[in-house]
Amino acid sequence: MKSSYLPGILAMAAIVLASNILVQFLFGNWLTWGAFTYPLAFLVTDIMNRVYGVAAARRVVFAGFVTGVICSLIGTQIMGEFGPLVTLRIALGSGLAFLVAQLMDVAIFDRLRAGAWWRAPVVSTLVGSSLDTALFFTIAFSASLSFLEPANDVSWAGDILHILGHGPEAPLWVSLAIADWLVKLALALIALVPFRLITRKVLAQVA
């Protein structure tokens, strides 16, 4: 492994670790604090992809995946007020969503890397973020997948409420997913600034 990959790997591991901790704390009615840290994973992947290529980006993704799996395993052994801090469905949803979404991000970025500098990070992150949100919330909370962990009662996520408090009625987890997705979209656009600055600086150093 090239030593130049190490900062990206450490950054990804730190983001995944922080997100696994912060996802337990609510920010308002529809978000967790983890919603603000996790999208940074796409920024790290895209920077590595732009500077070092597909192979490096995939290494960083797998490092984040391993970190997430370890966090989930530890969380399943820590008992909270209502059971393990990390349930099987959340562990499955988190791991699968991260791996699929990040690898999709890497593939799309690589296809678009020859275009305008902003196109690859914007399109790859928007697609990856959308896929991540859809997979995680469906696997973790949809009543149709309750067979994955029958002993885990997630009926609270199925409470029928107005979407984000104002829209048509839907299960609570749909509001949580939409709020999470909107934050990811906003951060994807904001992240263009550090993406441009960091890649310019690093590319100048390795040139």
Number of domains in the chain: 1
Q: What is the spatial distance between Cα 177 and Cα 190, in angstroms, rounded to a whole number?
A: 20
Residue 134, both tokens: 């859809």
Q: Tell me the residue range of the domain where 87 lies.
A: 3-206
pLDDT at 80: 66
Q: What is the spatial distance between Cα 186 and Cα 31, in angstroms, rounded to a whole number?
A: 14
Q: What is the spatial distance between Cα 44 and Cα 13, in angstroms, rounded to a whole number?
A: 10
Q: With 60 as the cut, is the pLDDT of residue 47 above it?
A: yes
Q: With 70 as the cut, is the pLDDT of residue 81 above it?
A: no
Q: What is the pLDDT of residues 157-191, one digit of tens each?
A: 899 999 999 889 999 999 999 999 999 999 999 99
Q: What are phi and psi of 103, to 5 degrees?
A: -70, -35
CATH number, residue 103: 1.10.1760.20
Q: How confident is the model at residue 7 (pLDDT cuts 50, 70, 90)?
A: confident
Secondary structure of 12-54 in the HEC alphabet?
HHHHHHHHHHHCCCEECCCEECHHHHCCHHHHHHHHHHHHHCH
pLDDT at 102: 96
Please, is 68 exposed, middle or buried when counting C-beta atoms within 10 Å of its C-beta (0-12, 13-18, 19+)? buried
The partner residues of 171 in beta bridges, in order of sequence, read 160
